[in-house]
């Protein structure tokens, strides 16, 4: 039986960053109240929340408090101690459970689970010490990428290995942290699919996005992805099948590599994702609203793209330039989102812009013009 959570019930969110902020804005639009658990005071989500609890994410006392004040609890990032969530789940209502956290915060478990569902990943080997690394290299070869199993984001905790001479550089890494070695995937494109599954078992996918990274940080998301229509259909089917096989609820982002006409899954995020921000302005339902609907047991909305869109990610160093350009008439219809971060730190995500146009060539032209002197 679906547990229907109606406004003005309180939605508790673990994590207080921009993803939580955008979830909360959707929730508040529908009349819900929002509570947040986040160590730092007055972050992006707390600025729009009704109630703030400042404590570490793994504080049992704080999580118990959040569960007590909330009719439903969700999370906006995956690096929360899954054991604490598992232990306290019965003290409240967390429809997503702890499993998505346990799986996606550990690259080895994540990739193994994807393979067990019948989908391809890059070849990978567990590396717990230098000897494991040498053995893994024998199987996977060069070029390959060493990644810490947990805590990595935006390319942090990753080292590309091109030859034996690179091994000594990562000696202390593999002796001090659990890692995996991944074969380098010679992809032609990176794409992602945002998919949502409700507590009512309904599954809906958003249009496939093409992602362009700079320094391993997402730079542009282009939708529709410039790939073959059959491949796009396949990517959506992979996403819908995977979320069902994993038995996840809520919004799940699936990063994929395109290799010729094949799809290789890179990683999962059990939450709304940077590459789905275009949905706020360019779709009839956003990934955030859909997530709230999913965990509240409401019927999901079938996503449709209103207009082709390009999202430009804004890092701290881009804000001044962006504000200057965005006030020019030719860019004034780009939709600006800033996350309320106190510090505009370099290489940290502080906002995004969504450009839209019915004509894809015109859209690309405008974005190219906007980016002409992008810092
Ligand atoms: P995170 O996003 O958590 O930092 P990812 O595994 O997604 O980690 O890696 C970041 C980026 O590095 C990817 O989007 C991709 O561009 C590149 N990358 C990661 N793994 C591979 C791989 N096995 N082959 C080729 N490129 C990769
Ligand atoms: Mg990634």
Tell me the per-residue pLDDT of 65-106, one tens digit each, with 9 for 90 and over.
999 999 999 999 998 999 999 999 999 999 999 999 999 999
Q: How far is CA 215 from the centre of its chain?
A: 17
Q: Is 53 helix (H, G, I), strand (E, B) or coil?
A: strand
Structure tokens at 55: 């404590």
Burial of 31 (0-12, 13-18, 19+ CB in 10 A): exposed
- Any idea which residue has 């590309």 for tokens? 160
Q: What is the pLDDT of residue 1?
A: 61
Domains of the chain: 10-94 (3.40.50.20), 123-183 (3.30.1490.20), 189-370 (3.30.470.20)
> Binding residue per annotation — 158?
yes
The pLDDT of residue 2 is above 90: no
> Binding residue per annotation — 281?
no
Q: What is the mean pLDDT of residues 152-175?
A: 95
- In tens, the pLDDT along 19-62 reads 999 999 999 999 999 999 999 999 999 999 999 999 999 999 99
Q: What is the mean pLDDT of residues 119-144?
A: 98
The pLDDT of residue 253 is above 90: yes
Q: What is the pLDDT of residue 269?
A: 97
Q: What is the pLDDT of residue 186?
A: 97
Percentage, residues of the chain above pLDDT 90: 98
Which parts of 171-223 fold into alpha helices (H)? Answer: 171-176
**Ligand 2 centroid to residue 105 C-alpha, Å:** 12
Closest CA to 361 of 319, 292, 308, 312: 308
- Best of 106, 155, 221 to mutate for ligand 1, by most ligand atoms within 8 A of CB? 155
Which ligand is closest to the CA of 214, given by its number? 1
Quote the CA–CA distance of 67 and 375 in Å, as a whole number.
Answer: 43
Cβ distance 187 to 266 under 8 Å?
no
**Ligand 2 centroid to residue 267 C-alpha, Å:** 6
Pairing of strands 33-37, 10-14: parallel
Closest ligand 1 atom to Cα of 184: 24
- In tens, the pLDDT along 273-310 reads 999 999 999 999 999 999 999 999 999 999 999 999 99
The pLDDT of residue 150 is above 70: yes
The pLDDT of residue 111 is above 70: yes
CA atoms within 13 A on the CB side of 156: 7
> Which phi and psi angles does 51 have, rounded to 5°?
-145, 135
Closest ligand 1 atom to Cα of 156: 4
The pLDDT of residue 132 is above 90: yes
Quote the CA–CA distance of 99 and 135 in Å, as a whole number.
Answer: 31
Q: Which residues pair with 4 in a beta bridge?
A: none
Q: What is the mean pLDDT of residues 209-220?
A: 96
CA atoms within 13 A on the CB side of 174: 24
Q: pLDDT band at 140, cuts 50/70/90?
A: very high
What residue owns the CA closest to ligand 1's atom 23? Answer: 184
The pLDDT of residue 154 is above 90: no
Closest CA to 136 of 72, 94, 196, 179: 179
**Ligand 2 centroid to residue 156 C-alpha, Å:** 10
Q: What is the pLDDT of residue 362?
A: 97
The pLDDT of residue 351 is above 80: yes
Across 15-155, the runs of DSSP E, i.e. the strands, are 33-37, 51-53, 72-75, 124-127, 144-148
Across the chain, the runs of DSSP E, i.e. the strands, are 10-14, 33-37, 51-53, 72-75, 124-127, 144-148, 158-161, 179-183, 189-197, 203-205, 209-214, 217-223, 250-259, 262-269, 309-315, 335-338, 349-356
Q: What is the pLDDT of residue 88?
A: 95
- In tens, the pLDDT along 229-242 reads 999 999 999 999 99
Count other C-beta atoms under 10 Å from residue 201's C-beta: 10
Q: Is 121 helix (H, G, I), strand (E, B) or coil?
A: strand
> Binding residue per annotation — 107?
yes
- Best of 106, 151, 216, 269 to mutate for ligand 1, by most ligand atoms within 8 A of CB? 216
- Any idea which residue has 């060493």 for tokens? 146
List of residues 6+ apart from 124 with CB closer than 8 A? 107, 108, 111, 140, 180, 181, 182, 183
Which ligand is closest to the CA of 152, given by its number? 1
**Ligand 2 centroid to residue 43 C-alpha, Å:** 23
Cβ distance 119 to 242 under 8 Å?
yes
Radius of gyration of the chain (CA): 21
Structure tokens at 78: 């995956």
Q: pLDDT band at 112, cuts 50/70/90?
A: very high
């Amino acid at each position: 039986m679906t547990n229907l959570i109606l406004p003005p019930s309180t939605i508790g969110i673990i994590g207080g960053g921009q993803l939580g902020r955008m979830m909360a804005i959707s929730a508040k639009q529908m009349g819900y109240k929002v509570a947040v658990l986040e160590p730092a005071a007055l972050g992006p989500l707390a600025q729009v929340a009704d109630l703030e609890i400042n404590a570490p994410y793994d504080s049992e006392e704080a999580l118990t408090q959040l569960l007590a004040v909330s009719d439903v609890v969700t999370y906006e990032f995956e690096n929360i101690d899954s054991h604490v969530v598992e232990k306290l789940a019965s003290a409240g209502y967390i429809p997503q459970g702890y499993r998505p956290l346990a799986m996606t915060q550990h690259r080895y478990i994540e990739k193994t689970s994807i393979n067990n569902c019948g989908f391809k990943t890059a070849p990978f080997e567990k590396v717990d010490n230098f000897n494991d690394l040498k053995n893994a290299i024998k199987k996977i070869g060069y070029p390959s990428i060493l990644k810490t199993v947990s805590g990595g984001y935006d390319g942090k905790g990753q080292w590309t290995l091109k030859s034996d001479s690179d091994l000594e550089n990562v000696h202390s890494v593999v002796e001090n942290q659990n890692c995996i070695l991944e074969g380098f995937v010679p992809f032609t494109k990176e794409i992602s699919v945002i998919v949502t599954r409700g507590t009512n078992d309904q599954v809906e996918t958003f249009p496939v996005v093409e992602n362009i990274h700079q320094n391993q940080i997402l730079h542009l998301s282009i939708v529709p992805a410039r790939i073959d229509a059959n491949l796009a259909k396949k990517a959506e089917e992979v996403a819908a099948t995977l979320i069902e096989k994993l038995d996840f609820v809520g919004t799940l982002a699936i990063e994929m590599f395109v290799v010729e006409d094949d799809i290789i899954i890179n990683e999962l995020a059990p939450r709304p994702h940077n590459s789905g921000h275009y949905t706020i302005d360019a779709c009839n339902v956003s990934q955030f609203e859909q997530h709230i609907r999913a965990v509240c047991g409401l019927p999901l909305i079938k996503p449709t793209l209103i207009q082709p869109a390009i999202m430009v990610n804004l890092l701290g160093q881009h804000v001044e330039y962006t504000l200057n350009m965005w006030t020019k008439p030719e860019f004034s219809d780009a939709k600006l989102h800033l996350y309320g971060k106190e510090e505009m730190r370099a290489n940290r995500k502080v906002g995004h812009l969504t450009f839209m146009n019915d004509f894809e060539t015109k859209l690309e032209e405008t974005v190219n013009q906007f980016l002409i002197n992008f810092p």
